[in-house]
Amino acid sequence: MNTKTIILAACTATGLLFGGCEPSSSGPPTPVAASIPAAYFTKNRPTEVPDLIKVKPTAKVGDQVSFLARVGGRPEPFVDGIAMFTVADPSLLSCEVMGEEDHCPVPWDYCCEDSNAITMGMATVRFIGEAGDPIAANAKGAGGLAPLRFVVVEGTVGDRNDDGLFVVDADRIWVGGRPERGNLRLGSHAGEENVNIVVAHDHDHDHHDHDHEHHDHDHDGDGIPDH
């Protein structure tokens, strides 16, 4: 994997890509048209899968892992031109399942959660192509991937550190539905793939460009506000 790709992957996982991690002077590689093969996704949910937070503390680089999580953890969990996205442990509460109805326009950034818990409960998932680099495509929409949806990720730990970085190169992903207040695991089971899914909402997130001052938190512990 080339150095520039490694820098981008690490920045995405730690949040620096959105707030001050600068690539080399030549700039990032120009994205090219690409797609994520359907073979990366499965409609058969693996059974007996632990939550992300139970896997992350002890998994080492090169380990095969599988875990349950939800797409999110920052205002834009997907990266333009690079097939990777962030996920958060199911124990973390996204804003749409707490408090008043629609009290947070960007519920998938977990702005009401403790920043340390978010750092320890997040991971970055990558789709690696034949050349050994992340596929040059935005992963949003592939296989139904969208903010707040449950996912079961099976793959290999590609990078990690003690500061919260945890990168998994995906082999197979099951995409589930979304929970709701009063049933926080709804959407995480087999047969619940379409629970609380509105197709138009999955692909229209322009409303996240808003003045939402309480989002200016340092979710990553790096001293740099995420947004």
Q: Taking a C-beta distance cutoff of 8 angstroms, is the pair 206, 105 a contact?
A: no
Rounded mean pLDDT, 206-211: 42
Q: What is the mean pLDDT of the chain?
A: 80
Task: Give the H/E segment covering residue 171.
Answer: strand 166-175
Residue range 59-81, pLDDT digits in tens = 999 999 999 999 999 999 999 99
Please state, in angstroms and rounded to a whole number, the distance separating the CA atoms of residues 151 and 87.
8
Closest CA to 60 of 169, 159, 172: 159
With 0-12 / 13-18 / 19 or more C-beta atoms within 10 angstroms meaning exposed / middle / buried, residue 79 is buried
The dihedrals phi and psi of 122, each to the nearest 5 degrees, come to -115, 160
Residue range 146-184, pLDDT digits in tens = 999 999 999 999 999 999 999 999 999 999 999 999 999
Query: What confidence score (pLDDT) does residue 21 get?
Result: 35
With 0-12 / 13-18 / 19 or more C-beta atoms within 10 angstroms meaning exposed / middle / buried, residue 132 is exposed
The residue type of 35 is: S
Rounded mean pLDDT, 35-58: 97
- Mapped onto helix, strand or coil, the DSSP state of residue 190 is coil
Name the pLDDT band for 227 (thresholds 50, 70, 90).
very low
Per mean pLDDT, which range of 18-32, 35-49, 198-212 is the poorest? Answer: 18-32
Residue located via tokens 């998932």: 125
Rounded mean pLDDT, 9-20: 40
Name the pLDDT band for 105 (thresholds 50, 70, 90).
confident
Please state, in angstroms and rounded to a whole number, the distance separating the CA atoms of residues 144 and 22.
31
Residue range 114-153, pLDDT digits in tens = 999 999 999 999 999 999 999 999 999 999 999 999 999 9
